[in-house]
């Protein structure tokens, strides 16, 4: 079967499941500990691989929401100003230290770093309840690895690089500088955050993290739909949840 047909079938199955309530039942069947975290908002240890524009912004927002966050860089000493400015919930480390520390990992690196991250950490990342993938394959910036990832679809490509990881694609196509202000909108006027993933528990955890920084999660489908969560696609930028659903209906 052609890949496009497989993708379409995956998406149809996902929405059929959601419509029939199976997806909600799947959420209800998630392990108790993780479900307690999603519903109680208990602190989760978050590790960021990459602490540049998007990694530092999201990590700061989650630390402000009460989660311990380890920001990582290959030069963690350069993150001192960032973590000192956030306070006791923030610390800095290497990517390996952040992976070891975290319950949940945010990927926030240029896409060309992804094969190395897969090589170094795929085994450990597969054990995490959630790996949030904010990365984007950009051919001009990242070269051939990005070209191939675009051909496969960004979600499918990340799943190949990180086999077994509970991946959710989110925060890919919203400017990091906008996020702190976007998150201040009152309930009912919130910006939607399109997300794609295959794992119900990971999607539930990601949804909670999205809500905690003042945005409204909108699950657009399985990881195959990650190909639409990129800068320059119709879902990029800031939209209300209703607008996201309208755009979604126009996508193949
Ligand atoms: N900027 C945005 O508004 C935005 C929004 C949504 C999504 N994104 C996506 O998020 C990703 C990061 O973008 P950014 O703008 O935050 O980039 P950035 O400001 O350049 O930061 C990149 C971070 O990745 C780290 N890094 C680079 N290579 C690495 C490697 N091999 N191993 C471990 N860490 C590595 C860098 O740390 P060291 O070099 O110190 O190790 C740095 O902390 C990109 O894929 C981008 O498309 C960006």
Q: Whose CA is nearest to atom 7 of ligand 1?
A: 172
Q: Whose CA is nearest to atom 36 of ligand 1?
A: 50
Distance CA 131, CA 158 (A): 10
Protein residues whose CB sits closer than 6 Å to any atom of ligand 1? 49-55, 73-75, 95, 108-111, 113, 116, 134-136, 138, 171-172, 175-176
The Cα-based distances of 158 to 6, 148, 149, 209 in angstroms read: 17, 11, 8, 21
Residues in the chain: 252
Let me know if 177 is exposed, middle or buried by CB neighbors in 10 A (0-12, 13-18, 19+): exposed
Q: Looking at the predicted structure, is the pLDDT value of residue 120 above 60? A: yes
The CA angle 98-99-103, to the nearest 5 degrees, is 100
Q: Which pLDDT tens digit goes with each residue over 175-194?
A: 999 999 999 999 999 999 99
Looking at residue 108, its pLDDT comes to 98
Distance CA 34, CA 202 (A): 9
Looking at residue 38, its pLDDT comes to 44
Looking at residue 252, its pLDDT comes to 67
Q: Given the CA of residue 135, which atom of ligand 1 is nearest to it?
A: 45
Q: Which pLDDT tens digit goes with each residue over 51-94?
A: 999 999 999 999 999 999 999 999 999 999 999 999 999 999 99
Please check whether residue 104 is in contact with residue 73, taking contact to mean a CB–CB distance below 8 angstroms: no
Distance CA 194, CA 172 (A): 9
Q: Looking at the predicted structure, is the pLDDT value of residue 22 above 70? A: no
**pLDDT category, 28, cuts 50, 70, 90?**
very low
Q: Whose CA is nearest to atom 21 of ligand 1?
A: 52
110 CA from centroid of ligand 1 (Å): 5
Distance CA 122, CA 128 (A): 10
Residue with tokens 């086999």: 163
Tell me which of 51, 74, 108 to substitute to probe ligand 1's pocket, judged by most ligand atoms within 8 Å of the beta carbon: 108
Closest CA to 180 of 55, 45, 57: 57
Q: Looking at the predicted structure, is the pLDDT value of residue 32 above 50? A: no
Distance CA 148, CA 157 (A): 8
Looking at residue 199, its pLDDT comes to 98
Q: Whose CA is nearest to atom 28 of ligand 1?
A: 113
Q: Whose CA is nearest to atom 14 of ligand 1?
A: 53
**pLDDT category, 42, cuts 50, 70, 90?**
confident
Distance CA 79, CA 149 (A): 30
Looking at residue 4, its pLDDT comes to 43
Tell me which of 56, 73, 110, 119 to substitute to probe ligand 1's pocket, judged by most ligand atoms within 8 Å of the beta carbon: 110
Q: Whose CA is nearest to atom 23 of ligand 1?
A: 50
């Amino acid at each position: 079967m052609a890949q496009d047909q497989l993708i379409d079938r995956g998406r149809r199955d996902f929405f059929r499941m959601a419509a029939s309530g199976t997806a909600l039942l799947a959420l209800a069947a998630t392990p108790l500990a993780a479900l307690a975290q999603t519903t109680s908002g208990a602190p989760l240890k978050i590790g960021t691989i990459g602490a540049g524009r998007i990694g530092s912004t999201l990590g700061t927002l989650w630390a402000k929401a009460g989660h311990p966050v380890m920001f990582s860089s290959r030069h963690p000493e350069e993150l001192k100003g960032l973590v000192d400015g956030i306070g006791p919930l923030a610390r800095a480390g290497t990517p390996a230290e952040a992976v070891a520390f975290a319950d949940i990992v945010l990927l926030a690196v240029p896409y060309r770093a992804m094969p190395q991250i897969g090589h170094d950490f795929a085994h450990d990342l597969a054990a995490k309840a959630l790996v949030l993938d904010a990365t984007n394959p950009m051919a001009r910036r990242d070269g051939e690895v990005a070209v191939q990832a675009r051909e496969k679809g960004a979600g499918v490509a990340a799943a190949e690089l990180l086999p077994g990881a509970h991946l959710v694609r989110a925060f890919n196509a919203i400017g990091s500088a906008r996020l702190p202000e976007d998150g201040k909108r009152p309930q009912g006027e919130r910006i939607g955050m399109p997300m794609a993933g295959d794992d119900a528990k990971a999607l539930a955890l990601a949804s909670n993290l999205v809500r905690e920084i003042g945005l409204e999660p909108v699950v657009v489908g399985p990881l195959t739909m990650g190909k639409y969560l990129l800068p320059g696609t119709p879902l990029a930028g800031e939209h209300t949840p209703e607008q996201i659903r309208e755009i979604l209906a126009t996508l193949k």
